[in-house]
């Protein structure tokens, strides 16, 4: 019997703002840092490195901007190295997942869909915790981005 391993997490939220405003919230480091509960630093161009600082509990992580389709889609690579990662190891040689944010118009604003994929390729000792934590985390983050945009 073959075990099926969950590879993706997908969540959506309706945002009460236009696409341009939603795009800024998911692609501007200063704005993401307001709702994502961590400090993001990056330039919005494919291949650009990302520095995530989630404070003492989760530590500093790294990533990379993978794709930018203005007003439609942005994809970030996210490492699963944990605290104390070794910067001498290439980001291409550590466990990662992809985070894709997609925007679509709705009658009352914009739908934001996030898909995090690549869990099946993570080492088993990382996969279970990452899936559990990120499943809960995306629920929280979708609420956070909506609350952030409603308060602007």
For residue 58, give the CATH number of its domain: 3.30.530.20
At residue 86, the pLDDT reads 85
The answer to whether position 50 is within a domain reads yes
The answer to whether position 1 is within a domain reads no
Q: What is the DSSP letter of 2?
A: P
Arithmetic mean of pLDDT, 114-138? 94
The answer to whether position 118 is within a domain reads yes
* Residues 22 and 149: beta-carbon distance below 8 Å: yes
CA angle 16, 112, 107 (to 5 degrees): 45
Of the chain, the percentage scoring pLDDT greater than 70 comes to 97
pLDDT digits (tens, 9 = 90+) for 73-116: 999 999 988 767 788 999 999 999 999 999 999 999 999 999 99
The answer to whether position 140 is within a domain reads yes
For the sheet containing 73-79, what is the strand order?
8-15, 109-117, 96-106, 73-79, 60-69, 49-53, 39-41
Tokens for 24, please give them. Answer: 């800024």
pLDDT digits (tens, 9 = 90+) for 38-54: 899 999 999 999 998 88
d(CA 107, CA 52): 34
The answer to whether position 3 is within a domain reads no
At residue 60, the pLDDT reads 83
Domain total of the chain: 1
Q: If pLDDT is split at 50, 70 and 90, which confidence band does 25 have?
A: very high
At residue 2, the pLDDT reads 61
Ramachandran region of residue 18, left (φ > 0), alpha (ψ -120 to 50) or beta? beta
The answer to whether position 92 is within a domain reads yes
The answer to whether position 54 is within a domain reads yes
Q: How many CA atoms lie within 13 A of 11 on its CB side?
A: 18
At residue 54, the pLDDT reads 84
The model scores a pTM over 0.75 = yes
At residue 38, the pLDDT reads 86
At residue 28, the pLDDT reads 97
Arithmetic mean of pLDDT, 19-39? 95
Residue tagged 């990379």 (tokens) = 64
Arithmetic mean of pLDDT, 31-35? 96
The answer to whether position 134 is within a domain reads yes
d(CA 22, CA 111): 9
Print the domain residue range for 118.
8-150
């Amino acid at each position: 019997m073959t075990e099926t391993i969950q590879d993706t997490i997908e969540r959506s939220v309706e945002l009460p703002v236009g696409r341009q405003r939603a795009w800024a919230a998911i692609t501007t480091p200063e704005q993401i840092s307001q709702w994502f509960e961590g400090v993001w630093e990056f330039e919005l161009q494919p291949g650009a490195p990302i520095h995530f600082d989630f404070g003492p509990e989760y530590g500093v992580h790294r990533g990379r901007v993978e794709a930018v389709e203005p007003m439609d889609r942005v994809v970030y690579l996210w490492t699963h190295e944990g605290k104390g990662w070794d910067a001498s190891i290439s980001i291409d040689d550590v466990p990662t997942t992809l985070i894709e944010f997609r925007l679509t118009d709705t009658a009352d604003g914009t739908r934001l869909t996030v898909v995090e994929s690549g869990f099946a390729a993570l080492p088993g000792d990382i996969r279970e915790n990452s899936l559990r934590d990120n499943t809960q985390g995306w629920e929280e983050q979708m609420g956070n981005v909506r609350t952030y945009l409603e308060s602007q």
